[in-house]
Amino acid sequence: MATISEKILSRACGKPASADDFVVANIDYAMAHDGTSVLAVRAFREMGAKKVWDPARIIIPFDHIAPANNETAAKLQQNIRNWIKEQGITNFFDVGEGICHQVLPEQGFAMPGKLIIGADSHSCTYGAFGAFATGVGATDMAEVFATGKLWLRVPKTIKITVKGKLAKGVSAKDLTLNIIKNVGADGANYRAIEYYGDTISELSMAERMTLCNMSIEMGAKAGIIPPDEKTFEYLKGRAREKFTPVYADKDAQYCEEFNFDADELEPQIAKPHEVDNVFNVGEVAGTPLDQVFIGSCTNGRYEDLEVVAKILRGKKVKVRTIVLPASRSVLIKATESGIIAALLKAGVIIAPPGCGPCLGAHMGVICEGETCLSTSNRNFKGRMGAGGLIYLSSPETAAASALRGEIADPREVDLSL
- Residues with Cβ within 8 Å of 101's Cβ and at least 6 positions away in sequence, in order, are 118, 120, 122, 123, 125, 126, 209, 213, 297, 326
Q: Is residue 388 part of a domain?
A: yes
> Each residue of 9-29: pLDDT tens digit?
999 999 999 999 999 999 999
* Chain segment 359-369, per-residue pLDDT in tens: 878 888 888 89
Q: Give domain status of residue 322, yes or no.
A: yes
Q: Are residues 277 and 400 in the same domain?
A: yes
Please tell me the distance from the alpha carbon of residue 352 to that of residue 405, in angstroms, as a whole number.
Answer: 24
pTM beyond 0.85, yes or no: yes
The answer, yes or no, to whether residue 416 has pLDDT greater than 70, is no
Establish if 415 belongs to a structural domain: no
What pLDDT, on the 0 to 100 scale, is given for residue 266?
96
pLDDT tens per residue across span 122-161:
999 999 999 999 999 999 999 999 999 999 999 999 999 9
> Predicted confidence band at 414 (pLDDT cuts at 50, 70, 90)?
low
Residue 172 lies inside a defined structural domain of this protein = yes
Domain contains 196: yes
Query: Is residue 281 domain-shared with residue 385, that is, in the same domain?
Result: yes
Query: Do residues 197 and 311 share a domain?
Result: no
Is there a single domain that holds both residue 192 and residue 310? no
Looking at residue 380, its pLDDT comes to 81
pLDDT at 248 over 60: yes
Segment 108-126 shows an average pLDDT of 96
Reported as a pLDDT band with limits 50, 70 and 90, residue 356 is: confident
Average pLDDT, the chain: 94
% helix / strand / coil in the chain, to the nearest 5?
Answer: 40, 20, 45
Domain span at residue 334 reads: 268-410
Residue 383 maps to a domain = yes
Shared-domain flag, residues 42 and 188: yes
How many structural domains is the chain composed of? 2
Q: How confident is the model at residue 384 (pLDDT cuts 50, 70, 90)?
A: confident
Backbone angles phi, psi at 14, to 5 degrees: 80, 15
**Mean per-residue pLDDT for 191-216?**
97
CATH of the domain at 363: 3.30.499.10
Instruction: For residue 415, name the pLDDT band (cuts at 50, 70, 90).
Output: low
Shared domain for 204 and 280, answered yes or no, is no
Percent of the chain with pLDDT over 90: 89
Residues 6+ apart with CB under 8 A from 75: none
